C-alpha cells in the first residue's frame, strides 16, 4: 500500500449503543440539546458522526482523530442522560462516513419500519447489532451520506 492509499493517519471510528434514562416524552428535548452541544464541541476537535434515537435507545457513530474520538466518547459515557453503553465497533477507519456532519441525527418514527427491518429488527434494540449492520443502519438513516 502506498502512502496515498493509506488511511488518513489516525482516523478512528467508534459505534456504541445506549439507553435513554429520561422519560419518553423528554427524548426530543434531550436530543435538541445533545445535538447543539455535539456540533459545537465536535467541530473543535474534528469529530464527525451520526446519532440515531428512538424507542428510548441511542445508536451513535463518532469518527475523527483517535484522541478526539476517545476523549469525546469518555465524556459522553459519563453523561447521566443515558446508561448501559455498549461499544459495537471501535478501531481504525479508512475514511469518514459522515464527513459533512459534526453530528447529524435521525429520530426514528413510525415511517422507519423498513429501515429497522433491513437491520433485522422490529423494535430498535441497537446494543445487539452486528457492527456492519449498525453502520449500514446509521448510513441509511443519514440518507445518501455514505461515500
Ligand X SMILES: Cc1cc2nc3c(=O)[nH]c(=O)nc-3n(C[C@H](O)[C@H](O)[C@H](O)COP(=O)(O)O)c2cc1C
Using CB under 6 A, list all residues that contact ligand X: 34, 37-38, 41-42, 51, 58, 60, 62, 72, 75-76, 79, 81-82, 103
Between CA 67 and CA 120, with CA 82 as vertex, the angle to 5 degrees is 90
Distance, in Å, from the CA atom of 23 to the CA atom of 112, rounded to the nearest integer, reads: 21
Which triple of cell numbers denotes residue 6? 493509506
Q: How far is the CB of 103 from ligand X (least distance, A)?
A: 5
Residue 38 or 54 with smaller CB distance to ligand X: 38
| Phi and psi at residue 123, to the nearest 5° | -115, 155
CB atoms within 10 A of CB 121: 17
Q: How far is the CB of 36 from ligand X (least distance, A)?
A: 10
Q: How far is the CB of 43 from ligand X (least distance, A)?
A: 10
Residue 16 or 114 with smaller CB distance to ligand X: 16
- Write out the H or E segment, with its range, that includes residue 60: strand 57-65
Residue 32 or 37 with smaller CB distance to ligand X: 37
Residue 42 or 140 with smaller CB distance to ligand X: 42
Q: How far is the CB of 20 from ligand X (least distance, A)?
A: 8
Distance, in Å, from the CA atom of 15 to the CA atom of 68, rounded to the nearest integer, reads: 14
Amino acid at each position: 500500500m502506498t502512502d496515498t492509499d493509506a488511511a488518513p493517519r489516525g482516523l478512528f471510528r467508534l459505534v456504541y449503543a445506549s439507553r435513554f434514562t429520561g422519560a419518553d416524552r423528554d427524548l426530543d428535548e434531550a436530543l435538541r440539546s445533545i445535538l447543539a452541544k455535539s456540533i459545537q464541541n465536535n467541530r473543535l476537535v474534528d469529530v464527525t458522526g451520526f446519532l440515531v434515537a428512538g424507542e428510548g435507545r441511542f445508536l451513535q457513530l463518532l469518527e475523527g482523530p483517535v484522541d478526539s474520538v476517545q476523549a469525546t466518547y469518555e465524556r459522553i459515557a459519563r453523561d447521566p442522560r443515558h446508561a448501559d453503553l455498549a461499544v459495537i465497533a471501535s478501531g481504525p477507519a479508512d475514511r469518514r462516513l459522515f464527513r459533512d456532519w459534526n453530528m447529524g441525527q435521525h429520530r426514528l418514527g413510525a415511517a422507519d419500519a423498513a429501515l429497522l427491518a433491513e437491520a433485522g429488527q422490529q423494535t430498535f434494540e441497537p446494543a445487539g447489532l452486528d457492527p456492519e449492520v449498525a453502520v449500514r443502519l446509521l448510513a441509511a438513516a443519514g440518507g445518501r451520506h455514505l461515500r
